[in-house]
Amino acid sequence: MRKGIVLLALLLLVNGLGAQQEYKRWNVFQINKIATKFSNALELCNGNWQEPALAMPPAFEYPAGSGISYGTDFAFIIAGRRQATAGGRNPGDKPYVEAGMTEGPSDYWDPDHFDPFAIFVGGDRAAISNDPSTWPTSGPNHGWPAYYPMYPNDNGTVDFTDVPVLVKPVINPEDSTDTLGWWPGAAPDGSMLGDLEYFTVVYSIDHLAERPPERWLKTVVIGRGFAWRLPLYEDFIVWEFIFYNPTSAPIESTVVGIWSDYSFVSSFLPPYPWGDDGDRMWYDRNHQFAYAWDIDGIETAPDGSTLEGDQIAWAGTVVLKTPKGDDGNELGVTVYDAFDNWANQNDPSLGNYNGAYKEAFYWYNMLNIGDPDDTDGDGIDDTWYDSLGNAHDYYQSDAEPLQLLASGPFTLEPGEWDTLIVATVFGENRADLFKNLAILEQLYRDNWQVIRPPARPRVRAEVGDKFIKLVWGTESEADTANFEGYRIYRSTDGGATWGQPIRDHTGAVVGYVPYAQFDLADGVRGTNPMDPWFFLGDDTGLEAITQVDSTGDTIHVFVDDNVVNGVPYLYAVCAYTKGGPGKPPVENSRYVKDPNIPNDNVVLAVPTLTTVSNPSDIRVVPNPYIVSAGWETYPGEERIDFSGLPDACTIRIYNVSGDLVKVLHHTSGPRESWDLLNEEGQQVGPGLYFYVIETDAWTVKGKLAIVH
């Protein structure tokens, strides 16, 4: 733990204690295979099976875009005892518990235990790093405060402390004072740690303000989330909670934890199946990992279709960092409490130790006291007894697999804070789940130093009659030591799948066969031992997709003419590395929140048919073409222009023997140029040529000549 050292006299008018949830906002966190709606009040997943009208899909949707969600609730919890300066009355000296989940009809499960500080709120959505419109627009440092706020005073003002400081990364190296547009990143220097980050600062409130005030814990919590676009890290999201005691009295017997409620699978909208049968869950002590899965491999998807076997994912929550005890060492996970339903929740004597009011939840869940599933009394459930009294080494849920991971107790002194870091992990089966867990744990041990692919290609799509042309530059090839090639993927289901799946020895999908692949002719072939399912190419070279545009820049062009007009196609152009000793090959991600974001590597395109009313307007100039004529703007620019064209057509050029010389896919405007190169990129010779211009509506044929 660490302690704040200076209190500043800076006071800002912000939301007072009576302004319940006035600044609560929602947004969607999605950059890889997991998508979830989150709030800036520490609700990170809210499927809310008790109140479907309040559900916030996507709720741990996996894979993103599939419409299949697994999350009912996921939330941070902090609890403690005997805080003299806590809020409200507490005549019975009962424990305090603040939790951000919605899990039933009890008032205790009202999620509004935390309220965001107004100075961290901007716009109508929760703040997220890739959308500046969600960032605050007023206050010091272009909206983001220089210091974290303390708990609101009774007069509606807020004190600030300089610890921990929001370090401002330098945006313009030439001007260290230029911080416009900065995001308070999760890295130690304030820079971005993930490719996408969530950030909020909240304080606990009297969440039942309409009643006589009754005990709430005065704490401040800094909530963060971060994830990466890279396929290697696409199956998990990391969540960090920095909790702080801003008061003048200690919080004794403090316990913090993470609540996980997955369902395999859930539907939060009509007809509300909430899974066809029970699920199972278990805890791996070695990894501090609580996970769950479907029992029989048959479920009903939200659209009414049947999911079987490998279509149903596994999911779990791992604890990576816990608070420190009085000896200065991390406490680790001290409690794993698993249970099934809310029956008899207000009567712990009946054996259902899942209290729905604060003191019951503190004793029977956060501390797991007297739980018959914890046979050795160490706080970790280890055995589940079914209704017949039979013991099992897993927990079977007939409703929702409810799991709590907690760490404590410890004393949180005045001015002290500590940290809990957890992560949501998904996999296609048990082996894939633990493989993804191992990748995450190694990333944590490496202090979040990710293995990066080349820069993302900046792809644009041009469409025409029965074809789509993808165009991108060479920015990915700047890292010559690592760049190996491009893999092009095509999806017809919105990115849920990307072609023929590649499965590992467990049956898990570890990738997709590219729709097309082009790699350097550098002798690198086959696979890398670090990833035997990633094909590195067979030395095709990049010449087949390389051209020079009208400005003289080198570009890459790939034309897909196996398309149907009017059908949307999603493409991902992924640059990849060759890998090396101890490093697997990696490529750019295929998963994006919006495929229409400019300068991205994923684009959405719909081929269309557009015609002109009078094909006789088409002209070919110059014709004949005289080599080295004066109309060339500079030496080496040789071209024949087809003008008067429709917005989309195909131009085929043949020699006198009937051999196809060149195909031009025209996608926009009235003009298309031929650079006098054939399909192999070679200069054509003088002679007579025939051209055929085609649309679905008509065909125009003609002749052109090239002479010396």
Mean pLDDT lowest for which of 8-22, 274-288, 382-396?
8-22
Ordered domains of the chain (ranges, CATH): 2-16+43-53+62-171+179-386+396-443 (no CATH), 460-605 (2.60.40), 615-707 (2.60.40.3080)
Question: pLDDT tens-digit profile of 243-257?
Answer: 988 888 899 999 999
DSSP secondary-structure letter at 109? G
- What span, in angstroms and rounded, lies between the C-alpha atoms of 586 and 39? 32
Residue 670: asked if its preceding bond is cis (omega within 30°), the reply is no
Q: Give the pLDDT of residue 108.
A: 55
In the predicted model, what is the mean pLDDT of residues 386-394? Answer: 74
**Averaged pLDDT score across all residues of the chain:** 81
Q: Residue 409 in contact with residue 255, Cβ under 8 Å?
A: yes
Full 3-state SS string of 636-647:
CCCCEEEECCCC
Report percent pLDDT > 70 for the chain. Answer: 79
Q: Give the pLDDT of residue 52.
A: 62
In the predicted model, what is the mean pLDDT of residues 318-326? Answer: 94
Q: Give the pLDDT of residue 270.
A: 53
More confident residue, 168 or 29: 29
More confident residue, 290 or 138: 290
Backbone angles phi, psi at 2, to 5 degrees: -130, 165
pLDDT band at 16 (very low <50, low <70, confident <90, very high): very low
Q: What are the angstrom distances between the C-alpha of 46 and each of 42, 71, 97, 120, 424?
A: 10, 7, 19, 22, 14
Mean pLDDT lowest for which of 195-209, 388-402, 458-472, 548-562?
388-402
Backbone angles phi, psi at 283, to 5 degrees: -125, 130
Full 3-state SS string of 474-519:
CHHHHCCCCEEEEEEEEECCCCCCCCCEEECCCCCEEEECCCEEEE
Question: pLDDT tens-digit profile of 345-363?
Answer: 444 444 444 555 677 888 8
343: pLDDT strictly greater than 60: no
Residue 503 has a CB neighbour count (10 Å cut-off) of 14
Token code pair at residue 3: 């302690």
Q: Give the pLDDT of residue 182.
A: 74
Burial class (CB in 10 A: 0-12, 13-18, 19+), 550: exposed
Q: Give the pLDDT of residue 345.
A: 43
Residue 129 has a CB neighbour count (10 Å cut-off) of 22
pLDDT band at 261 (very low <50, low <70, confident <90, very high): confident
Q: Which of 121, 100, 91 is nearest to 14 (CA)?
A: 121
Angle at 629 between CA 624 and CA 632, to 5 degrees: 110
Q: What are the angstrom distances between the C-alpha of 588 and each of 195, 524, 592?
A: 12, 19, 11
**pTM of structure:** 0.73
Q: Give the pLDDT of residue 631.
A: 43
Question: pLDDT tens-digit profile of 644-667?
Answer: 888 788 999 999 888 899 999 887
Mean pLDDT lowest for which of 209-218, 231-240, 285-294, 432-441?
209-218
Residue 16 has a CB neighbour count (10 Å cut-off) of 16
What's the count of helices (H) and strands (E) in the chain, helices before strands? 2, 45
Q: Give the pLDDT of residue 8.
A: 23
In the predicted model, what is the mean pLDDT of residues 327-338? Answer: 92
Question: pLDDT tens-digit profile of 98-155?
Answer: 887 776 555 556 667 888 988 888 889 999 998 888 988 765 555 677 666 767 655 5
Full 3-state SS string of 317-385:
EEEEECCECCCCCECCCCEEEEECCCCCCCCHHHCCCCCCCHHHHHHHHHCCCCCCCCCCCCCECCCEE
More confident residue, 567 or 168: 567
Q: Residue 451 in contact with residue 233, Cβ under 8 Å?
A: no
276: pLDDT strictly greater than 60: no
Report percent pLDDT > 90 for the chain. Answer: 37
Q: Give the pLDDT of residue 639.
A: 86
pLDDT band at 448 (very low <50, low <70, confident <90, very high): very high
In the predicted model, what is the mean pLDDT of residues 682-702? Answer: 87
174: pLDDT strictly greater than 80: no
pLDDT band at 3 (very low <50, low <70, confident <90, very high): very low
389: pLDDT strictly greater than 80: no
Amino acid at 557: V
More confident residue, 45 or 668: 45
Secondary structure of residue 431 in the 3-state scheme: helix
